Amino acid sequence: MAESSQVSDLNAIMEAMKHSLDDGLLSRNERQNLSSQYEPLDAEERKLLVRRVFELGRGAVADESATRVIDWIAGQVKLLTREGTDESLASEAHFSPTDHCYRRIGQLLEHAQKTVDICVFTITDDRISEQILLAHGRGVEVRIITDNEKAEDLGSDIARLRSAGIPTVVDRTEFHMHHKFAIFDRKLLLTGSYNWTRGAAESNEENFIVTPDPGLIGSFGRTFERLWSRLSVD
């Protein structure tokens, strides 16, 4: 299947999904129609559409408790269907202002098993900070690189994280450490415009991707180590 044709087919399936959701019911005809469209899809395409199903579900409900239930179902489905221990075999994109961004960061922190390297301009979202502390508390090796302009602002969580014993270095040069990325277990990279703040979650137009691409993880990992070494002695 040509790539442009493949994308068109997936877009058509997504539209059919949206139409099916309009009345909140999956009728017999809709089930048969979607089943026939799913049949030729490969594993990666099916995973993409599974994520789309949950995105549509979250978008269709306004109640936060209902969204949490959908997130719980999504987590259980992921645990039951994932291969090996990989969080995901496909890249994903997230956009704010929605709850999806901070929730996804929280999930990545919750599922981290060995290491989390965080390199972000500022951290003020207490919901994310709590997940960082929980990861540190269960033995995950967390390191944080941040910038001095925001680290000492009212509302910054950097001092709190550092006082909990999390190794932290701060760029105190006249320039800014303006990166916003994190690496989880050296297997998943999160990067984009998204600062780890309430404003980014609730007001700003922001984005980040999550990818298992080993080349990108290696590149960002080397950048983290370079900054860590330099800022640790500055």
Report the alpha-carbon distance of residue 149 to residue 174 in Å, rounded: 9
> Which of 136, 180, 187, 234 is the catalytic position?
180
Report the alpha-carbon distance of residue 12 to residue 10 in Å, rounded: 5
Report the alpha-carbon distance of residue 4 to residue 62 in Å, rounded: 35
Let me know if 19 is a catalytic residue: no
Report the alpha-carbon distance of residue 168 to residue 156 in Å, rounded: 13
Report the alpha-carbon distance of residue 23 to residue 220 in Å, rounded: 45
> Which of 114, 126, 178, 213 is the catalytic position?
178
Phi, psi of 40 (to 5 degrees): -80, 0
Let me know if 178 is a catalytic residue: yes
Residue 209 backbone class (left: φ over 0; alpha: ψ -120 to 50; beta: rest): beta
> Which of 9, 185, 213, 234 is the catalytic position?
185
Report the alpha-carbon distance of residue 116 to residue 132 in Å, rounded: 9
Q: How large is the greatest C-alpha to C-alpha distance in the chain, in angstroms?
A: 66
Q: Beginning with the edge strand found earlier in the chain, give each strand of the sheet holding 141-147 in spatial order.
A: 92-96, 206-211, 188-192, 180-184, 115-120, 141-147, 168-171
Residue type, 174: E
Let me know if 185 is a catalytic residue: yes
**Residues identified as active-site:** 178, 180, 185
